[in-house]
Chain A
Amino acid sequence: MPDLAALRRRRHAIHGWLLLTPALVMLTTFAFYPTVATLWTSLFSRGTRRRPTEFVGLENYQRLFDDPTFWLVAKNNLLYAGVTIPISIALALAMALWANSKIPARSFVRTAYFTPTVLPMIAAGNLWLFFYTPGFGVLDQIGALFGAPSVNWLGQPETALWAVCAVTIWKEAGFFMIFYLAALQTIPPDLKEAAQIEGASRWAYTRRIVLPLLMPTTLFILVNAMINSVKLIDHLFILTKGGPSDASKLILYYIWENAFAFFDAPAAAAMTVLVLAVLGALAAFQFFVIDRRTHYR
């Protein structure tokens, strides 16, 4: 009955495609098509009423590379990622280890840590705006108690980016902690007891057993943190608007400015393509290189 087998195989294939369709439609509409369209746009000149768009090849990219603001923004974003990612992950891990141990009011501690995550980024931005405001902001008031001079955290180029980093870390650490907490709870308690009996100190147990077992989680969080370091810019709108003199401007904010403030869609598209390429390369590196050295249970 070869016909029947072939028929059944085809039925399976159709079944499979039917199951894939919804995801495929969504992804195509909201991810694949926009990506291709962006790539396409980035290859054309900006159309004005007098001069229609025309194919210009890589000219938009060239223009971008000649733009000092682009380089400043890229540098800002690298610093922003380089500061927020390791600190928020380390903080998340520390908080998770603490909130997972036998402490009084454990669920209160967990909730407290998680609260920033529940707040919308805009609300968090407003909250921190109040902290940072010179004169009557909380930071200044505390500073004044110790006789420190008033600091305009958001208003000077030297501190603006760091102030923005602090908000992001505050916001993300609690979120990542949840993943670590979940992962910690899957580690069987007898591993700890076995390590204790073998004479391992708390630190030795954490370093040799817990951290390696948390590697998959760390990898997952790392990917998320990297994406967020590009994606999470809501608070910029509230806090600094990229200022002063672009000191706290990040790539996505600059893309937004190009597209919707300067109406330079091709420049925004070119930048978007570059960002996508970098993120894609990072993701590939993580999944193919680090992943192979990570223990999955």
Chain B
Amino acid sequence: MTGTPYVTLEAVTRQWGGKGGVRDVSLAVPEGAFVSILGPSGCGKSTLLRLISGLEAPDAGCVRIAGRDMTARPASDRGLSMVFQSYALFPHLSVRENILFGMRVRRVQRAEREAKLAQAVAMLGLEGLEGRKPAALSGGQRQRVALARAVVSGHPLCLMDEPLSNLDAKLRHSVRRDIKGLQRRLGLTVIYVTHDQTEAMSLSDQVVLMRDGAVEQVGSPRALYADPVSTFAAEFIGDPPMAIVEGAALGRPGALIGLRPEHLSPAASVPDLAGIVCEVEYMGAATHLIVDHPAARGLILSVPGHADWRPGQRIGLHLPQEHRVLFDAQTGKAKKDPQQDYGGDRRQTAPRDSRKAPQPHPSTD
């Protein structure tokens, strides 16, 4: 994961009438890495991907691919392939012709075309479907045709915009594995847009978390999980996400305290926090207790197996000191607590200085 940057964005901005889009995004994607762009709907993920692909031109900033400035070059010069959310298969062409389309317009020799087609068809298990039109395929099959079309181009960079969002949960898992396998086998650099944090966490070497057109945090899935730079990141990552408790309730006014659900437990003796069970969700391997407390949000307690709790019961919670993550109550940014021992493994990416500023000023970046 520490290859030279293959794709570099430098302070890239693209907005419409000063709104939407992305602003001032800088990013370095290592060669051969699987990078996810993650964020809620409308945060600018697709815009960012389209800027990289050349389908959108930045208002400011610079896009480099393989060390060359590509800012003003058209999409076809950038040596990349793309899988669209809608798959964008040509409806009047057969699977075969869809896969061959790019090679035909690029006038690739017939023998090479056929060889690559056969290879892609075999790789994605599309045998027997070559003659069908996209309308006669299932969603998963269309998905694989779109992947095949991207693969045969032979470009080292592949962009994917929520390629799995039209598939059902089960298929999503299997295609997810296919994509990852393909990326590894072909040594592709993949930039993968998703709003599903599970997808991003499980697939990526690196996750780019976005919020309102700006990058909130960049890091390995582990770093994002263990060391969120803000309450936004804390509450976006994880399933269920981090619980946030007002510091005052735990004797730390002016701060917000985050805790991962797996670190919460019912108190054995004196509870740190006492709440009311308002929902019990049985998940099979575990039971989620959704706990209500006036000073906390997202308090979800995961107890193994079937737990005999009922809504309305009072519950005392133990919030272990060593797993508490501190955030500034005003800015929502993580802050380093001198009293706290974070443990060496937690500090994977050093947050930028601006991120841990403890001064209570509203963030303007």
Partners in one complex: yes
A interface residues with partner B (beta carbon < 8 Å): 188, 190-191, 193-201, 204, 208-209, 212-213, 295, 297
A193 to B86: give the CA distance in the assembly, Å.
12
A-B contact count (CB 8 A): 63
Chain A binding surface SS class: helix
Contact with A along B225-240 (1 / 0, CB 8 A): 0000000000000000
Number of chain B residues whose Cβ lies closer than 8 Å to a Cβ of chain A: 23
Residue of A nearest to B56 (CB): A193
Partner of A199, one of B53, B84, B102, B149: B102
Partner of A197, one of B76, B90, B133, B135: B76
Q: Are A193 and B55 in contact (CB under 8 A)?
A: yes
Smallest Cβ distance from A184 to chain B, in angstroms? Answer: 15
Q: Are B105 and A197 in contact (CB under 8 A)?
A: no
B interface residues with partner A (beta carbon < 8 Å): 53, 55, 74-76, 80-82, 84, 86, 88, 90-92, 101-102, 104-106, 133, 135, 149, 153
Residue of A nearest to B85 (CB): A190
Residue of A nearest to B77 (CB): A199
Name the A residues within 8 Å of B76 (CB-CB): 196-200
Given contacts A198-B76, A199-B76, A297-B135, contact A193 B105 (CB under 8 A): no
Residue of B nearest to A294 (CB): B92
Q: Using A197-B81, A200-B102 as known contacts, list a sample of 14 further A-B pairs with CB atoms less than 8 Å apart, ordered by residue number in A.
A: A194-B88, A194-B149, A196-B74, A197-B53, A198-B81, A198-B102, A198-B106, A198-B153, A199-B76, A199-B102, A200-B101, A209-B90, A209-B92, A213-B91
Name the B residues within 8 Å of A195 (CB-CB): 101, 105
Name the A residues within 8 Å of B74 (CB-CB): 196
Q: Are A188 and B135 in contact (CB under 8 A)?
A: no
Given contacts A204-B105, A208-B101, A208-B105, contact A197 B82 (CB under 8 A): yes
Name the B residues within 8 Å of A190 (CB-CB): 84, 86, 88
Smallest Cβ distance from B158 to chain A, in angstroms? Answer: 10
Q: Are B92 and A193 in contact (CB under 8 A)?
A: no
A212 to B74: give the CA distance in the assembly, Å.
25
Name the B residues within 8 Å of A208 (CB-CB): 90, 101, 104-105
Smallest Cβ distance from A60 to chain B, in angstroms? Answer: 48
Smallest Cβ distance from A56 to chain B, in angstroms? Answer: 53
A188 to B89: give the CA distance in the assembly, Å.
10
Candidate in A191, A197, A198, A204 with the most chain B CB atoms within 10 angstroms: A197
A295 to B149: give the CA distance in the assembly, Å.
21
Q: Are A199 and B105 in contact (CB under 8 A)?
A: yes
A297 to B133: give the CA distance in the assembly, Å.
10
Smallest Cβ distance from A213 to chain B, in angstroms? Answer: 6
Smallest Cβ distance from A192 to chain B, in angstroms? Answer: 9
Can you spell out 19 A-B residue pairs with CB atoms less than 8 angstroms apart?
A190-B88, A191-B90, A194-B88, A194-B90, A194-B149, A195-B101, A196-B74, A196-B75, A197-B55, A198-B101, A198-B102, A199-B106, A200-B101, A200-B105, A208-B105, A212-B92, A213-B91, A295-B133, A297-B135
